[in-house]
Amino acid sequence: MSTRREQILAAAAELFARHGFHGVGIDEIGAAVGVSGPALYRHFRSKDAMLGEMLTSISEVLLTGGLDRRERTEDPAKLLGELIAFQVDFALDNPSLITVQERNLGNLTDPDRRRVRALQRRYVEVWVQAVRDTAPDLDEPTARAAAHAVFGLINSTPHSRHLGRDGMATMLREMAAAALAGAGGETRR
């Protein structure tokens, strides 16, 4: 629909990523898209609603991306590789969204946070299943912890831009794959 909403969300995401949710004022977000201040309330009900819509849509994109790939790929090893590539591409192409999702989940309203958490959990489950299909010796909690660790690895991207986009992508894919392969070890609590 309106380009304006997306434009506002993109600007807000960048500002939230840089200064934190509470560190950004309505006026700054408006200024970033060329209008000033309260004009934003023609498009969003509140500042909270901006963050809510932002994080919800990210989580939905990730989840449907994961579900799509699981549906299309039946070879477990190939699926895991595609999940990795998907997450790497998303992180490299949407650094501020990734940053906001990692840092500002706690600033959501309770209902929004519940929604986002639910979506995230389903996305993680896609990963957990894929991991365990390629490494059946891992129990479920270990697989889940390993998945979270790999998210941390991939999502660290916004904070280190030293390589080019493609060099970064291949390196992250290889490191993620190796890390997951190495999670097997003799891990036991």
Residue corresponding to tokens 């993109």: 10
Q: Does 188 bind its own copies (CB under 8 A)?
A: yes
Q: How far is CA 89 from CA 4, 11, 157, 167, in A?
A: 25, 21, 10, 12
CA-nearest of 71, 76, 64 to 135 is 76
Whether 116 and 56 have beta carbons less than 8 Å apart is answered as yes
CB of 5 to DNA, least distance (A): 9
103 Cβ contact list (under 8 Å, min separation 6):
17, 20
Structure tokens at 87: 């997450």
Whether 63 and 119 have beta carbons less than 8 Å apart is answered as yes
Binding characters for its own copies, 136-165, by CB under 8 A (x = yes): -----xx-xxx-xxxxxxxxxx-xx-xxx-
Binding characters for its own copies, 51-90, by CB under 8 A (x = yes): --------------------------x---x---------
Q: Does 39 bind DNA (CB under 7 A)?
A: yes
Q: Does 35 bind DNA (CB under 7 A)?
A: yes
Structure tokens at 25: 């004022």
CB of 138 to its own copies, least distance (A): 10
CB of 44 to DNA, least distance (A): 8
Chain residues in the site for its own copies (CB under 8 A): 18-23, 77, 81, 102-104, 106-107, 141-142, 144-146, 148-157, 159-160, 162-164, 166-168, 170-172, 174-189
Chain residues in the site for DNA (CB under 7 A): 2, 4, 22, 24-27, 30, 35-39, 41-43, 46-48
